[in-house]
Structure 1
Amino acid sequence: MDDKEFVYSANYKPLDSMKTAFDKYGYIIIRGLLQPAELQKVTQALEENSEIHKHAFGLSDGEDKISRQCIWSLPGNDITGMVARSTRVVRTVEKLLSGDVAHYHSKLIMKEAKTGGKFVWHQDYGYWYKNGFVKPDMLSVLIAIDPCLKDNGCLEVLVGSHKCGRVDHMMVGGQTGADLERVELIKLKCPLIYVELDPGDAVFFHSNVLHTSSANTSDKRRWVLISAFNLLSNNSLIQHHHPTGTRVHVVDDSAILSCTNFTDMTGKRFQEPTKNRGIIPVRE
């Protein structure tokens, strides 16, 4: 295991070495962040909750494939909310960003077998910048629901690219993508790696890390649950499709297993995609 990878255990706590690796590479991986029984409950909630799928929409990759996603602004009190609010997630984010944090939004991304589209090269801060965040003091936590492999379109990152600053972004298909000429230059300095994950593994990555993912041409789906956070001191200064963040109401890690709420989505505030200027949803 290299210095970017860590393993969740019963006595887990965020380490200084995680912060060191995050600052150096722009991301860290925590294997087994969700344990099997927890993952089973989260998967059931994502598969069976009609509210999530009712609010899902398609996103074109500019070619012939579409990925589906559902986005919500507030964690809520269901099982997915317990994950975003769990001590293991929030305290790790606080360690990596060096301060108190707010939940920005969460989403389920669904790349179905054979049809799931690619995501173009981009930085999350490339479009969050336009939402009124003046600093890139933000990150995303991606948790694998299914195996995330090279052949089903796993996350790809340019290692250390968060140190290159914000790159200009523009619309590419239905997505906001980075200036590809600049991306090619950055590739000369920052190696590309495929972030392959087992179900329950998580990657925490900086908002300025350049990343992409290929289309899913395999016969296996690739679902991931992503929660984005920002420092409380870096709240948005522009009213937009997500509310200004407030401190996360942290719950004990045991709340993921003890939560019995699979269906009540009260307070999650699902996103209306037509109000998000960073994407162009497609009819399915």
Structure 2
Amino acid sequence: MKEARTGGRFLWHQDFGYWYQDGVLFPDHLSTAFIAYDKTNKENGCLQILQGSHRAGRIDHVLTGGQTGANVERVEQLMKHCPLVYVELNPGDCLFFHSNLVHRSDKNDSDHRRWALLVAYNTKKNNPVTKTFLPEYFPLDMVANSAVRECTNFTDMAGKEFLDPRNDHTVNVDAK
């Protein structure tokens, strides 16, 4: 989420760069869906991708300027071969991308927020091989459509796994 005039920037990185550090082995079994809640454009810090960069494989990630990002020299070399694309989306648009796609975003200097939902998809056979904060695969039970309306428990988070950004050791947001 990038609020107006406050949203931080993210350095060039690959999502698999973080997944790999958490014991996940196979990048081809992972993808990310970037779903725009608001219009995304250059002015409000839209996603930028290096088209085709996923074919280069995993790039080492290092600490740079308070964030963990892709090796700068490798990214500079990729920029000579992979076109830079600004991903401008309308609300409701979705971009699916490979876990090794090199991407970044600028801070939001506009008067408009830029909210998006990012969902990572991983196959059940690609569980982390080390014990991490990432949940392992577990089968989901089918419930009736009415279960959403009938739910009365809105505060107890027991058994409901999610990643609290305050506890995420793989990335820090830089407000520069």
- For the aligned pair, the TM-score class normalised by the smaller chain equals 0.7 to 0.9
SS in 2 for 1:222: coil
Identity, in percent, stands at: 46
Rate the CA distance shift 1:248–1:190 in 2: closer, same or farther, 3 A. farther
**TM-score, length-normalised on structure 1?**
0.54
Structure 2 match to 1:178: 70
Shift of 1:177: 0.3
Shift of 1:127: 1.3
Structure 2 match to 1:228: 120
Unaligned runs of 5+ in 1: 1-109
Structure 2 match to 1:118: 9
* One-letter amino acid matched to 1:135: F
Q: Alignment RMSD, CA only?
A: 2.5
Provide the C-alpha distance between the structure 1 equivalents of 2:94 and 2:20, rounded to a whole number of angstroms: 24
* One-letter amino acid matched to 2:23: G
Provide the C-alpha distance between the structure 2 equivalents of 1:182 and 1:229, rounded to a whole number of angstroms: 26
Rate the CA distance shift 1:236–1:198 in 2: closer, same or farther, 3 A. same
Structure richer in helix, relative to its length? 1
Structure 2 match to 1:147: 39
Unaligned runs of 5+ in 2: none
Rate the CA distance shift 1:280–1:156 in 2: closer, same or farther, 3 A. closer
Structure 2 match to 1:131: 22
The correspondence for 1:246, drawn from 138, 149, 154, is: 138
* One-letter amino acid matched to 1:212: R
Provide the C-alpha distance between the structure 2 equivalents of 1:250 and 1:146, rounded to a whole number of angstroms: 31
Provide the C-alpha distance between the structure 2 equivalents of 1:148 and 1:259, rounded to a whole number of angstroms: 30
Instruction: Confirm or deny: 8 A CA contact 1:132 1:236 kept in the other structure.
Output: yes
How many residues were matched structurally?
A: 169
Shift of 1:142: 1.1
**TM-score, length-normalised on structure 2?**
0.85
Shift of 1:173: 3.5
Instruction: Confirm or deny: 8 A CA contact 1:274 1:280 kept in the other structure.
Output: no
Rate the CA distance shift 1:150–1:280 in 2: closer, same or farther, 3 A. closer
Provide the C-alpha distance between the structure 1 equivalents of 2:142 and 2:83, rounded to a whole number of angstroms: 36
Instruction: Confirm or deny: 8 A CA contact 1:168 1:178 kept in the other structure.
Output: yes
